Amino acid sequence: MNTWAEMNETQPLVSKMLANSIKKDRISHAYMFQGAKGTGKYQLSLLLAKSLFCKNRLDGDPCNACKDCQRIDSGNHPDVHQIIPDGQSIKKEQILHLQKEFTYTGLESNQKVYIIVDADKMTTNAANRLLKFLEEPSKLTTAMLLTENSQAIIQTIRSRCQIMALQPLNPKTVEKKLQEQGLSDSSAKLMAAMTNNINEAVEISEDEWFANARKLVVQLVEVLQAKPDEALLFIHNQWMPHFKERDQLQQGLDLLIFFFKDIIYHYIGNENAIVYINLLDQITQASMHWSRQYATHTLNMIMEAKRKLDQNVHPALVMEQLTLQIQR
Amino acid sequence: MKFVIQRDQLMDSVQHVMKAISSRTTIPILTGLKIEAKDDGVKLTGSDSDISIESFIPKEEDGIINVEQIEPGSIVLQAKYFPDIVRKLPQKTVEIESDDHLKVTIRSGSAEFHLNGQDADEYPQLAQLHTEDSFEIPIDLLKNLIKQTVFAVSTVETRPILTGVNMKVEDNHLDFIATDSHRLASRKIPLEKSSSQLKFSNVVIPGKSLNELNKILDDTHDNIEVSVTENQILFRTKNLYFLSRLLDGNYPETSRLIPEQSKTIVYGNTKELLNSIDRASLLAKESRNNVVRLQTKENNQIEITSNSPEVGKVVEELTAKSIEGEELKISFSAKYMMDALKVVENEQVKIEFTGAMRPFIIRPIDNDNVLQLILPVRTY
């Protein structure tokens, strides 16, 4: 994403608004880019930063060749500050560092930009600190908050930003692009459901870990139907050793969600929407076992489990509870 | 890029610039040290984005050749390893060479290091010299100016602008002012050269940078050139450049805070006063705000007392040289008073009071250019 024209292909509305405000020199002091994974929030923020700093700007587009542009891409620009969550959350100290940074003059120019990635991960303390200088911006400061869930950010911050909602990509287009990249129909469909980012999708689909994860999800569903008493054993012996990290487990639960969604699609006859097109037999079999109502209920429980993982509940306990709930 | 350099010279320079490099920085390239070879010498740069230090090694100095076989170019090397490598090299000379793929070779005698460098284009571009807004003062005088003001800067970040020292140039006078809103330290000196066009008032240098600068400079009579650009200040000695970013914002107008008339004037011996306040604060330190009380008495006597009910109390009388004006009882922070008296640098001190609830001024007896102002503490 090196020009606004390129950005226009995926995010026409937002890129038009931003490109125009650059041309008319009416950049707001704070933006919140909100959109699902893979919609290009980060690329958008870099593009905007480059447009602000680039000295050879041509009709609003950065040149992508000068030192300023190159250093923004490599993260070495001294006046562009990026805050990335340190572990699970953005800590107070990170915002404090930013605060100190902004009492100083710029190193090369007086233009300053800060980009906060995953802004919803700010702790309450950090958010309140940020609020203080979001409220009183100096002339040439531009803040960009990137988030997948703007509702998780405190109201007082949201109200001070210009909110730019990035539209989700059409899964069909993503699917098509993935097929062009040489993925099989079934995995293209699954990847399109998993992420909107083409490169990430290709990467994941080539990962052996992911292939095994897919197998495990199918196995889990089978175990839950056939031998529910052994489900806990399965979780401990097979599931947990494979999904070691929290985000791995989140991915595993996503895969599980797709399966139960498919059951529902099967019930309502929307066969086109089914993600696991190569597992139709299993889905038909599962829908004999679980009622439509029960599948909906299960989806709710999986969502709840995902939420608990975010809140730092022990992963093994979350999975145990989930399987017990599904059995019931 | 290629050059051959004297190891001792290089080590000196590396040590200087290393002072600016911090391992905890958010900009990855700043963990490195920039080496730039030009036809007239080699320049090293280190920075933590707040301060940047550049050290220049001229090709030839006083007839001694420092650098040979220069092929111009520049590279950024990891500051974690480079200094140790230079220190431990076997020979007196070091050859440094970089190729197009950012690979650096360091050769000395039979030892040969290959390091991965980074592109020098990625390094922040430091402000070029602006000679218009500059003036020169002796280094020892600058160090003195810093010492007499920087202690008074604020350490809390509630008003960030107060964590810096305000530098003013007006009517051929250079003025340093620092305050944390409870006390104020100011020092004024006349500038030698008649650069009457030169005038700036809203330059605020971070206290931390000045402390750092004070550490780096040696006490000499050589001149240092100070130039100010829009967002940076540059201190330049012969081969060492020290750049600091400035604080953003408007420094509060301080001239109105200084009372012009006084009701009571006390002349006294600086050292005696300092020591007696030091003694009184021994007990006061324990209590929350370290307050001592000063009371004028007849026959040029001053009584200094401190009372912390849980610990005990202390009373000390000392003789002032003279006391003019009304009688006075006043309480103030012992720490602020001691800080102020320590930098007076004269045997005799003059303290001007304007009542127990008004700020008072401390000055050396012979010099109106040093001024320390302290706000009293309200006690009942």
- CATH number of the domain that B341 lies in? 3.70.10.10
B314 & B246 share domain: no
Q: Is the minimum CB–CB distance between A88 and chain B shorter than 8 Å?
A: no
Among A133, A165, A197, residue at a domain's last position: A165
Per-residue pLDDT band for B132 (boundaries 50, 70, 90) equals: low
| CB contact set of B86 (below 8 Å; sequence gap of 6+) | B7, B10, B11, B14, B94, B106
Tracing tokens 């001239």 back to the chain, one arrives at B255
Q: Is the minimum CB–CB distance between A105 and chain B shorter than 8 Å?
A: yes
Q: Which of B29, B125, B246 sits opposite A105 (nearest CB)?
A: B246
* A193 domain-assigned: no
Question: Helix or strand or coil: residue A146?
Answer: strand
User: What's the angle, vertex CA B206, arms to CA B205 and CA B208, rounded to 5?
Assistant: 135
A215 & A79 share domain: no
User: What's the angle, vertex CA A59, arms to CA A53 and CA A64, rounded to 5?
Assistant: 45
B237 & B319 share domain: no
B18 & B118 share domain: yes
Among A165, A191, A223, residue at a domain's last position: A165
Q: Is the minimum CB–CB distance between A102 and chain B shorter than 8 Å?
A: yes
Say how far residue B177 (Cα) sits from the centre of its chain.
12
A22 & A142 share domain: yes
For A95-109, write each residue's pLDDT tens digit: 888 888 878 887 777
ipTM of the complex: 0.76
The per-residue pLDDT for A6 is: 79
A contacts of B122 (beta carbons < 8 Å): 70-71, 74, 76
Structural domain boundaries enclosing A97: 4-165
B contacts of A100 (beta carbons < 8 Å): 157, 160
The per-residue pLDDT for A1 is: 62
DSSP of B277-315: HHHHHHHHTTSTT-EEEEEE-STTEEEEEEEETTTEEEE
For A62-71, write each residue's pLDDT tens digit: 888 888 888 8
Question: Helix or strand or coil: residue B227?
Answer: strand
| Average pLDDT along chain A | 84
Structural domain boundaries enclosing B290: 258-374
Among B191, B223, B255, residue at a domain's last position: B255
CA distance A212 to A282: 17
B178 & B91 share domain: no
* A192 domain-assigned: no
A229 & A316 share domain: yes
* A197 domain-assigned: no
Task: Give the residue from chain A lying closest to B31, CA to CA.
Answer: A76
- CATH number of the domain that A15 lies in? 3.40.50.300
B178 & B85 share domain: no
pLDDT at B177 over 90: yes
pLDDT at B324 over 80: yes
The per-residue pLDDT for B166 is: 92
B263 & B241 share domain: no
| Average pLDDT along chain B | 86
Domain count, chain B: 3
A76–B245 CB contact, under 8 Å:
no
